[in-house]
Structure 1
Amino acid sequence: MQSLLKNRAFRDAALQVAFVGGLVLMVVAMFLAGRANLEAQGMTSGFGFLERATGWRISFSLIEYDTNSSYAHAVMVGILNSLFLGVISLPIATIIGVTVGVMRTSGNGMAELLGTTFVELFRNVPLILQLLFWYTLLLALPSPRHAEPIFGGIALTGRGIYLPGLNVAASSVFVAFLLLLACFALGLWMNAKRWPGLHLHQARRERNILWALALIAIPVMFWLGRIPETPLVDIPRAAGLNYKGGIRVSPELMACVIAIAIYGAAYIAEIVRAGFNAIPKGQYEAGHALGLSSWHIFSRIRLPLAIRIVMPTMINQYVWLFKATTIGIAISFTDFFMVISTAINQSGQTLELIAILMGGFLIINYSMAWVLNRVNDAIKLKGTQLRI
């Protein structure tokens, strides 16, 4: 025994085992104490309550839901609502952020002033205040009775924004979405593998053909999935005191989208600006020496290199922005967090529901980070090329 204690490897292993064992014992003790307290209060533990009917309504749902639906179904509604909000907000934030970042590095005084004003204004105002501002502004829009359609049937009302929609089966929309994802993934795989004997121009041509086929197939899928005896495009129309037809975007969802997109865009703009400033000036000078135009230097040199530089930071920003979707509870948008909060008040199963909430966000954020890291691996410079 004495010889083992003198062995440094044995001591290190023993300390690690003792540390991990102490953590396990602490977690077990906390679990047993929590269960004992629940039993003392007459509360049952476990996940059996997920099969019970909720008895409460959800104002916004992408799938069918009523008061007789189970808690498990309500949790699924909340997850889908949060994913839907993230899928809309993050691309919009990226487009606005990249645009503002380009403006701040354009060399044009007016563009730089506008970009700087945007960043300093929306980055320094708390997100929750921006959400309340946009929500109040949307509620102040005219009533449906007095709202006039604009831009081909779009109606801005205090009860929501009405947009033209498609009378297409949900399955066709889902298949079209999967087709877009498949084309995107295949394009990244082609870029990462660099098929032997495939020239760069040939690879670009193959990708262009792939996207052309996808753009042709998607309208065909929509046409085949059209609901019988209905027009393909459903235009909102005034009917009494409200609008009928089309797609209604609730003020709560629209306020969350605007607030998250603009607030996230202010941070993304700074990330993009830093990426452009990190590109060595020799890259620009080489482009000018080859006789490239300003647009070609931007699209072929600056933007691709900036994307490679900022991608790791952007992944972290996307994860943070998705967690920011929980602000919807402040204006009663039924996202994942609000559904869990309501379920806790109704069922009393606090520990189980908090565990579901934590597990759900962990899985979603880890999956998003894993996919974006694969994208980063696909676009990074290979071999002995310059790594910037």
Structure 2
Amino acid sequence: MNHKDTPPVQPPRRRLSWNDPGVRSVIYQILAVGIVGGVVWYLVHNTMHNLSVRNITTGFGFLSREAGFAIGETPISYTPADTYARAISVGLLNTLRVALIGIILATLLGTVIGIARLSKNWLIRKISSVYVEVMRNIPLLLQLFFWYAIISEMMPGPRKAHHPLPGVFVSNRGIQMPTLNGDGLTWLLAGVLLAIAAIFGLSRWARQRQARTGQIFPMLRWVIGLLVVCPPALWWFSGTTLSLEVPELKGFNFVGGMTLTPEFAALLFGLVIYTSGFIAEVVRSGIQSVGRGQWEAAGALGLKSTLVLRLVVLPQALRVIIPPMTSQYLNITKNSSLAVAIGYPDIVSIINTTLNQTGQAIEGILMIMAAYLTVSLSISVFMNWYNKRIALVER
């Protein structure tokens, strides 16, 4: 008999049986989804029924109504005649502002303290250790109250304000600083962005040059030079006006310049000082994760300790530092919600005022949750991208 005439062997049909692990896993997943869906449906139905019984309106139509309340700090123009949507936007911008500045300052301070914890100088090492242990073990809310009391109650009035730097005044009204005004401010910011783009391009070229020739490019000098030269040069070529406005004492308060209110300053100080203690430990553990042989090998090449740290140790330590650092950045963003305790108008404070006036509690809570979820996921996505970019590529 020819093998070509032999009919193909059909595999046995798979029967549905409870003894089959694949069948059981599918059934369990269907049951789990059904239970979760049923619980969600019950909660939503019960909530809608209770709201209907109490004649409480639902929906987000209130966002287009007039807010009718003032906000102490407004990064964008706002009046009580504006809508609730505008007021909530102001609160969101206030939250983003304090979170962004806090992340930058906490990273810088935490990195310095983390490196100081590994210093060979006994005094520097002990001072940094005490700083970390003390700041990490005092609740953030208490630190916010402490800094707010220091600024608003223990600082002198405007007439006797401290004058630590030219044009800078510290009083119980906050911190007054000089600011730039005029059409040239846009060109100045454009110059900063241009300098940052040039720094990224130059950094990439410097790494390729070092890999090709082994010569270290003086990147720090060029970074400082680009940041110092590009913004004023672009403003000068634009021909626009730019003026420095210095705060002046008139009557019982300062006029002109930029003011950091006691609420903003206390929140920023508390977030930075509290979180920098955790970041310092992250940096310290990341540096210690690099083998001692790396230090010794770099030192054998004649590199100074600062160059060893910057060129050899920190690039390897970043792969350990970035994941826990992401958690600290998220903590800064989420901990900023404690601003309501000291009166800073963040998104939580403004939505609390909104729901007290409108009664739209569920919608207000949903907007707070959506705002923090969006910001946190954005930070996570960026940090995960950076973590993959610096990760070692296996061959």
Q: TM-score, normalised by structure 1?
A: 0.88
Please name the residue that 1:296 is paired with: 307
Shift of 1:357: 0.7
Deviates more, 1:236-245 or 1:256-265: 236-245
Equivalent residue for 1:46, pick from 59, 76, 94: 59
Provide structure 1 residue ranges, at least 5 long, that are not aligned to the other structure.
none
Structure 1 residue 96 corresponds to structure 2 residue 102:
no
Q: How does 1:159-178 map to 2 (within 5 A)?
A: 159-169=173-183, 171-172=186-187, 175=190
Structure 1 residue 237 corresponds to structure 2 residue 237:
no
Please name the residue that 1:146 is paired with: 160
Shift of 1:68: 1.2
CA distance in 2, matches of 1:333, 1:132: 12
In structure 2, give the amino acid aligned to 1:154. Answer: V
CA distance in 2, matches of 1:33, 1:187: 60
Structure 2 residue matching 1:243: 3-state secondary structure = strand
CA distance in 2, matches of 1:295, 1:243: 44
Shift of 1:37: 0.7
Please name the residue that 2:17 is paired with: 5
Structure 1 residue 116 corresponds to structure 2 residue 133:
no
In structure 1, give the amino acid aligned to 2:68. Answer: G
Which whole-Å deviations, capped at 9, do the CAs of 1:224-251 have from their partners, x for residues lacking one?
78985xx521111221221111111100
Shift of 1:129: 0.6
Structure 1 residue 258 corresponds to structure 2 residue 272:
no
- 1:141–1:156 Cα contact (<8 Å) kept: yes
Please name the residue that 1:58 is paired with: 71
Residues 50/250 of structure 1: CA separation in 2 closer, same or farther (3 Å cut)? same
- Which consecutive segments of 4 or more residues in structure 1 shift more than 4 A? 169-188, 194-198, 200-215, 220-228
- 2:63–2:85 Cα contact (<8 Å) kept: yes
- 1:226–1:232 Cα contact (<8 Å) kept: no
Shift of 1:33: 1.2
Shift of 1:90: 1.2
Structure 1 residue 73 corresponds to structure 2 residue 86:
yes
Please name the residue that 2:280 is paired with: 269
CA distance in 2, matches of 1:108, 1:342: 52
In structure 2, give the amino acid aligned to 1:61. Answer: T
In structure 2, give the amino acid aligned to 1:150. Answer: P
In structure 1, give the amino acid aligned to 2:166. Answer: G
- 1:315–1:369 Cα contact (<8 Å) kept: yes
- 2:199–2:226 Cα contact (<8 Å) kept: no
Please name the residue that 2:11 is paired with: none
- 1:179–1:214 Cα contact (<8 Å) kept: no
Structure 2 residue matching 1:248: 3-state secondary structure = strand
Q: How does 1:318-357 map to 2 (within 5 A)?
A: 318-357=329-368
Q: How well do the aligned residues superpose, as a CA RMSD in angstroms? A: 2.9
Residues 204/35 of structure 1: CA separation in 2 closer, same or farther (3 Å cut)? farther
Percent identity (aligned): 31
Structure 1 residue 14 corresponds to structure 2 residue 27:
yes
CA distance in 1, matches of 2:121, 2:224: 35
Please name the residue that 2:230 is paired with: 217
Structure 2 residue matching 1:155: 3-state secondary structure = strand
Which whole-Å deviations, capped at 9, do the CAs of 1:244-289 have from their partners, x for residues lacking one?
1111110000000100000001111111111121111110110122
- 2:248–2:255 Cα contact (<8 Å) kept: yes
Which whole-Å deviations, capped at 9, do the CAs of 1:102-125 have from their partners, x for residues lacking one?
111012100111101111111111
- 1:75–1:336 Cα contact (<8 Å) kept: yes
Residues 82/281 of structure 1: CA separation in 2 closer, same or farther (3 Å cut)? same
Structure 1 residue matching 2:163: 3-state secondary structure = coil
Shift of 1:17: 1.7
Q: How many residues are matched?
A: 378
- 2:187–2:235 Cα contact (<8 Å) kept: yes
Provide structure 2 residue ranges, at least 5 long, that are not aligned to the other structure.
1-13
Q: Which has the larger radius of gyration?
A: 2
CA distance in 1, matches of 2:238, 2:54: 54
Deviates more, 1:367-376 or 1:2-11: 2-11
Shift of 1:298: 1.8
In structure 1, give the amino acid aligned to 2:360. Answer: Q
CA distance in 1, matches of 2:148, 2:195: 32
Q: How does 1:276-295 map to 2 (within 5 A)?
A: 276-295=287-306
Which whole-Å deviations, capped at 9, do the CAs of 1:144-176 have from their partners, x for residues lacking one?
122253311101111111001111457556645
CA distance in 1, matches of 2:83, 2:351: 13
Shift of 1:375: 1.5
Please name the residue that 1:379 is paired with: 390
- 1:164–1:233 Cα contact (<8 Å) kept: yes
Shift of 1:78: 0.9
Shift of 1:8: 3.3
